[in-house]
Amino acid sequence: MINEPKIVEITEIIEETPTIKTFKFNWDFEKLGRPNPGEFLMIWNFNNEKPMSISQINDNELAITVKNIGEFTSQLHDLEVGSQIGVRGSYGHGFDNSFKGKRIIAIGGGVGMAPVNAIASYLAKDNDVSVISAAQTKDELLFLDSLKDIGVNVYPCTDDGSFGFEGFATNCLEDLLEDATYDYAFVCGPEIMMKGIFEILEASEIPGQYSLERYMKCALGVCGQCCVDSEGWRICVEGPVFENDKINQITEFAKYRRDASGVKY
């Protein structure tokens, strides 16, 4: 882990969807540390800094997958191969990647597929891994082919029925659970989606881990911007990944969050 930005050069850019790009860059694991799936990086564009989930962890190479939703992400999307960015981290409590010989279900909604891709890719070597990749429409689905190529059972799911299962990720999970069960689950996406998934998994007695997002500034647990109400847990330190028992204690889960000034929204 490094706590000051390391300047790296973008080596590859993949246009995943009309609004989402993956940016790859070299990362010396021996000198800078090897991140675990579920951890995040602070990305600096020499003007501002934002947290980004790690979507791929390869040999001395990392990737982030970014949706263009505002000024910062728009500036990232304007970059080209050879452009430089600042990176510090990795940070946070990531996913448990110690499973072997288990049946795993991972569920990602939208760009929440970024950390799901990282953990599913890692666990696919030693486990039977299934992934629900959910999006509003076909053009926004992520990582279908790359996950299939490494032996993951992929279940695409679209709100509008343009590809794969028609309906929400919750509906797709319920459909899968009619004929199968799983030892463990990993989930990331909009919190309203994760809340529904959480309730289904709890009813089926399937333990899981959930990756949350909050406004972050320091990533070091100092500024308190990313605290959640219940226990004062900091998303950047105690999270972003939380197990079932802790999710149960976060009263604001899927209800509200706070902006930079602390106002609920």
Using the 8-state DSSP alphabet, how is residue 188 labeled? Answer: E
Cα-flanking dihedrals φ and ψ of residue 71, to 5°?
Answer: -60, -45
Express the helix, strand and coil content of the chain in percent, nearest 5 each: 25, 35, 45
Is 188 labelled a binding residue? no
Distances (CA, A) of 193 to 28, 172, 211, 213, 255: 36, 12, 12, 13, 12
Report the DSSP pairing between strands 20-26 and 49-58.
Answer: unpaired
Is 172 labelled a binding residue? no
Is 157 labelled a binding residue? no
Is 226 labelled a binding residue? yes
Pair of tokens at residue 119? 């953990």
Pair of tokens at residue 251? 């009263």
Binding positions for [2Fe-2S] cluster = 218, 223, 226, 236
Binding positions = 218, 223, 226, 236
